Structure formats: structure tokens, C-alpha cells
Structure 1
Amino acid sequence: MNKQLQVHGALFLVALIYGSNYSIAKEVMPTYMGPFGLIVVRVVSAAIFFGIFARFVTKEKITGWSDNLRAILCGVTGVAVNQLCFFAGLNLTAPINAALLMVIVPVVVLVFSAILLRERISKRKVSGISMAFVGAFLLIYTSSGEHTTGNLWGDLLIILNATSFGLYLVLVKPLMQKYNAITIVSRIFSVGAVIVLPFGFQQVLATDYNSFPFSIWLAIAFMVIAVTIIAYLFNTWALRYANPSLVGAYIYLQPVLAIVMAISMGKDVFTLQKGLYALLIFAGVYLVSRTRQRVAPS
């Protein structure tokens, strides 16, 4: 299998995992465990796993002040802020709202690429950014109505999560040109674990684990193994061979997969209104990413 197919296969699997996570996480929160407690379980488990793996398998260290600082910033944006905002937001809002709002990640990637990497933004891309923003704003605004399934504050937290993740994709790219994916992911989860622990430690202790049915244990296992370990590893590995915009573009698949999962599990309904706002968001991100994205050779 050539490298291009491997990259696209890895990114599709990540989109499938994330698309499933919206409804699966809602099964756990808040009935069985609080959102921050769930984050602590996920992030600390991943930090231990990647830490052991990096120590005994890759045996590589991040060197230099600038690279270490960048790795810390990746841990803050890609794990701590990203996870705290996502699960707090998902705990409040509907799975479909969260999935639809996440498609602004490619737009965020473009903006930060222009700011940090000095990439030029064309008028067409500015139009796309504006269109996606309007769609996201309308989705958030209508979430405050009593007959909708969303939540204003939950949607705003998802927007902050998407912004943080978009910044992470731009920040981590230079590191992936120099280090193994395991090395990078191990460091960012170590940083993330230190930050999220104070937020969710009490929820971890207060959880009644004896009340968990087998399905909830499976859901938590899925979130630790698939959503945290596999998805982050594959996403980070893909950034070695693809630019951040291509990785961000696969976010487009998540709403489709999330909608299918949410409706099939009876967790949400897809209304015409949400569909129209979704089309507006998709149209905007399409304009932003219409130029062909190429996978770099190995």
C-alpha cells in the first residue's frame, strides 16, 4: 500500500472514531461519570501508555528549548484545553450540534497558518471563513431556544475546543518533521495529564464504579483506546506526510458519521433547520479548502 493510501486510511479511521464518540460519550456523561472525571481517566491512561511505549520502544527525546516549548503548547492546546472544552460542551449540547460545529476546524487551521506560518489568504478563502462563521453563529444562536436540542454554552465550548484543536494541528506540524509520532504524543499527553488532573480528580473519586453496567465499561474502554490512543497517534502520524489542512479537512466526515450514530442510537434528531445551517458551514469550509491538498512523499 502506498503512503498516500495509508495516510487517507488513517485519517478516515480517525474520522470514524471521532464520529462515533459523540453519542458514545453521551452514554457515560453525566449519569455515570462527570465530563472532567472522564477526561482524567482518558488522558492519564493515554499518558501512561505512551510514556511506557516511548521509553522502551522509541527511546527518543525532544531536544532544544524551542522544540520543548512547542511540545508544551501542543499539550495545552491539543489535549488539555481541547479535551476540557469538548467534553464540557458535549455534556451540555446535542451530539449533532457538536459534530456540525467541529467542521470549522479547517477554517481555524487556515487562520492560524496565515498568522503563524505567514500563508496568504485569498478573497475566496475569506468568503469561506465568513460563510462558515455565519452558519456556526446561527447554529449556536438557535440552540438557546426552548424547542431545540442544543445548548448555547455547550456550543460555545465546542467552538473553543475546535479553535484549540485547529491551533494544535498547526503547532505540531514542525515537530512531526523532526521526531517520531510516539515521542510527540507521549509528551503532549504528559503535559495534558498534569493540567486536567486538578479539574477532574474529585469526579474520579466521587464516581460509583459498582453501578457501571458492562456497556458503560465498554464505552469507557472505547474512549480510552480508540478515541484517545489510536486517534491521536494516527492523526499525529498523518501530519508527517500531509499538511494540516488535509488533516483538518477530514473533520468534514465527522458530522455525517456522528449524525448516523446519534439518530440510530436515539440520542438526537436531525432537523431541517440544522441541515440548512450545516450546508452553510460546509459551503464555507469547502471554499476555504477547495485547493487540492497533496500528501507529501515519504
Structure 2
Amino acid sequence: MSKRNLAILAALGATTIYGLNHTIAKGIMPNFLEAYALVELRVIGATLLFWLMSFFGPKEKIEKRDYLRLVVCAILGMGFNMLTFFKGLSLSTPINSAVLMTTSPIIVLILSVILIKEKVFPLKIGGIIIGLLGALTLIFLSNESRQDAPNIPLGNILILMNATFYGGYLITAKSLIEKYHPFTFMKWLFLLGIFICLPFSYQELVDTQWNTLTFDAIWRIAFVIIGTTFFTYLFNIFALTQLKASTVSAFVYLQPLIGIIFALVTGQDQLTTIKIAAACLVFLGVYLASKKPNQKNSLGKI
């Protein structure tokens, strides 16, 4: 099999893991672990794995002038990003989570316009408006009532905040990602994340009844740490070595579909008219916001 085909499989694998994560992680909270405790376990586990892998990479030191940017990246990407996502997922539903996560490209575009003055065309503006309309529909018009989703509107808001923090992280981290080896960057990022998340997670970790964790809870926790955090990153890095970034990013469209199908098959969520309408608006918005303004010049460059 060619490296290109392997890269496509890697990108598909990462997207599939992300899609499954919405339902698998939801099964842990709150019956076995609270959201912030799960985040802390995820960050600690990923730190150990990336430090172990760093021995196989180049020996690099972070330059002093990059310390502040690294800390900001850790706050946005390993702190607020994860804390808002898992807390939001614990309050909301897997399908809502899968749909709202797709707004990330729209959020990145908005932040790029604000922070780095990126040019935006009318088509992209229309995509932003439509995508955000879909997100707001899901947040304010969702009237579900579930025992495992005690505050769906607030959960949806937190998941949308997660997309915002992640967008800020991507913009802030761009120069560091280009400068340092991925293992060097990630090992320090996750190490800082342990201390950033600890004030939020400490009490939940102390209150966790560790002796009550079942095999079902343990394999789900392992999936979040090893699959959603570690393997997805490695898969995406390999995919980017063989494919254009635009090609890899296109797989974001599959994540909500996989997430929705898995949630329905496992009986962890159900479709409603509001969810379907909101999802259609979000997907259309992301497509328009990601569409290149001059398609004629981009043909054949996939």
C-alpha cells in the first residue's frame, strides 16, 4: 500500500476515533468520573506517553523567548479547551457534541480575521453566519430532558466555547508547531496542562470512588487517553506528511456523521427535528466557510 493511501487511512482513523469519543467519553461521566477528573487523567496519561515517545525524537530545548507563547498554548489547548469540552459533554448529549465540534473551522476563521487580519470573502461570511445560526439553534431551541444530560443548553454553550479555545490554540501554536518537533512541543504542552487543570480537577479526583470503577469505565478511560489523545495526534501528523492540510481538514465533515451513527446504534442518543435542522445549518456553514473563493485555480490540487 502506498504512503498516500496509508495517510488517508490514518486521517480516517483519527476522525473515526474523534467521532466515537463523544459517546464513549459520555459513558464515563458522571457515573464513574466527573468531567474535570477525566480531563486530569487524560492530560497525565498523554504526558507520560509523549515524554516516552520524545526519546525517539530529536533532543530539543524550548527557547526562552517561546516560554510565554508555550504557556498560552497550554492554557488554551490543554486547559480551557479540554475542561469546557468534557464539562459540556457531561451536561449535554453525544450528538449535540459531535455537531457543535464541527464549528471549529468557522471559529478559526473568525479568530483569524480578528487576530491576524485574514481576508474574508462574502461566501465565507455567509458560511460563518449560517454555521453560527445552526449552533445557536442547537443551544437555545433544544428542549430535551435526560437524566445523564442535566443541562443541555449550558453544555452546548461550553462545547461551543471549547471550539473557540481550540481555534485560539491553533492560531497561537502555529509558529511553535513549525519550529519544534511534534514530540518536543506536545510533551511540554501536556506537562503544563497537568498543573493548569489541577485546580479544577483536584477535588473531583479526591472524591472519586476509585474502587468502584468497572471494566467498562476503565476501558473507556483508556480509550480517551490512548485513542482520543495519543493515537489521533500521531495519525494526523503522519497524514500531514503525505497529504495537504486542506485534505486532512476535510475529514472534519466525517466526524459528526460517525459520532451521530455510533450514538444512535449504541442507543446513547436520538435524533430530533432540532438536531437535524441545526446539523444541516452547521454542515452547510462549515462547507461555505472552508470553500476556496476561486475554485478554478484550485482544481487538481487535492
TM-score, with length taken from structure 2: 0.88
Aligned runs of 1:77-156 on 2, under 5 Å?
Answer: 77-144=76-143, 146=145, 151-156=152-157
Unaligned runs of 5+ in 2: none
Note the C-alpha offset of 1:267.
0.7
Note the C-alpha offset of 1:254.
1.4
Q: Does 1:289 align with 2:290?
A: yes
Given that 1:105 and 1:251 are in contact with CA atoms closer than 8 Å, whether structure 2 keeps it comes out as: no
Note the C-alpha offset of 1:54.
2.2
Aligned runs of 1:89-238 on 2, under 5 Å?
Answer: 89-144=88-143, 146=145, 151-235=152-236
Residues 205, 146 of structure 1: alpha-carbon distance in 2 compared, 3 angstrom cutoff: closer
Give the Cα–Cα distance (whole angstroms) in 1 for the partners of residues 176 and 95 of structure 2: 33
Whichever residue aligns with residue 113 of structure 1, its letter is S
Note the C-alpha offset of 1:90.
0.3
Give the Cα–Cα distance (whole angstroms) in 2 for the partners of residues 76 and 237 of structure 1: 26
CA offsets per residue over residues 71-115 of structure 1, 9 Å max, x none? 222211111111100010000001100111111101111122333
Whichever residue aligns with residue 78 of structure 1, its letter is G
Note the C-alpha offset of 1:136.
0.6
Residues 234, 284 of structure 1: alpha-carbon distance in 2 compared, 3 angstrom cutoff: same
Whichever residue aligns with residue 167 of structure 2, its letter is G
Note the C-alpha offset of 1:68.
2.8
User: What residue is the counterpart of 2:272 in the other structure?
Assistant: 271
User: What residue is the counterpart of 2:74 in the other structure?
Assistant: 75
Note the C-alpha offset of 1:237.
5.9
Aligned runs of 1:19-34 on 2, under 5 Å?
Answer: 19-34=19-34
CA offsets per residue over residues 156-179 of structure 1, 9 Å max, x none? 000000111122222222222222
Note the C-alpha offset of 1:285.
0.8
Give the Cα–Cα distance (whole angstroms) in 2 for the partners of residues 114 and 98 of structure 1: 25
Whichever residue aligns with residue 164 of structure 1, its letter is F
Note the C-alpha offset of 1:215.
1.7
Note the C-alpha offset of 1:243.
7.2
CA offsets per residue over residues 190-247 of structure 1, 9 Å max, x none? 1211100121122222222222221211111111111111223444565677776655
Give the Cα–Cα distance (whole angstroms) in 1 for the partners of residues 186 and 15 of structure 2: 18
Given that 2:75 and 2:193 are in contact with CA atoms closer than 8 Å, whether structure 1 keeps it comes out as: yes
Given that 1:181 and 1:233 are in contact with CA atoms closer than 8 Å, whether structure 2 keeps it comes out as: no
Determine helix, strand or coil for the equivalent of 2:63.
coil
User: What residue is the counterpart of 2:40 in the other structure?
Assistant: 40
The number of equivalent residue pairs is: 296
CA offsets per residue over residues 23-48 of structure 1, 9 Å max, x none? 11111110011111111111012112
**Range with greater deviation from structure 2 (6-15 or 171-180):** 6-15
Given that 1:102 and 1:251 are in contact with CA atoms closer than 8 Å, whether structure 2 keeps it comes out as: no
Given that 1:19 and 1:99 are in contact with CA atoms closer than 8 Å, whether structure 2 keeps it comes out as: yes
Given that 1:129 and 1:285 are in contact with CA atoms closer than 8 Å, whether structure 2 keeps it comes out as: yes
Given that 1:89 and 1:153 are in contact with CA atoms closer than 8 Å, whether structure 2 keeps it comes out as: yes
Residues 135, 111 of structure 1: alpha-carbon distance in 2 compared, 3 angstrom cutoff: same
Given that 2:23 and 2:94 are in contact with CA atoms closer than 8 Å, whether structure 1 keeps it comes out as: yes
Q: CA RMSD in A?
A: 2.8
Whichever residue aligns with residue 27 of structure 1, its letter is G
User: What residue is the counterpart of 2:258 in the other structure?
Assistant: 257
Whichever residue aligns with residue 134 of structure 1, its letter is L
Give the Cα–Cα distance (whole angstroms) in 2 for the partners of residues 245 and 11 of structure 1: 12
Give the Cα–Cα distance (whole angstroms) in 1 for the partners of residues 238 and 71 of structure 2: 18
Determine helix, strand or coil for the equivalent of 2:179.
coil
Identity %: 38
Give the Cα–Cα distance (whole angstroms) in 2 for the partners of residues 174 and 240 of structure 1: 18
Determine helix, strand or coil for the equivalent of 1:177.
helix
Residues 190, 247 of structure 1: alpha-carbon distance in 2 compared, 3 angstrom cutoff: farther
Given that 1:39 and 1:83 are in contact with CA atoms closer than 8 Å, whether structure 2 keeps it comes out as: yes
Unaligned runs of 5+ in 1: none
TM-score, with length taken from structure 1: 0.89
Whichever residue aligns with residue 186 of structure 1, its letter is K
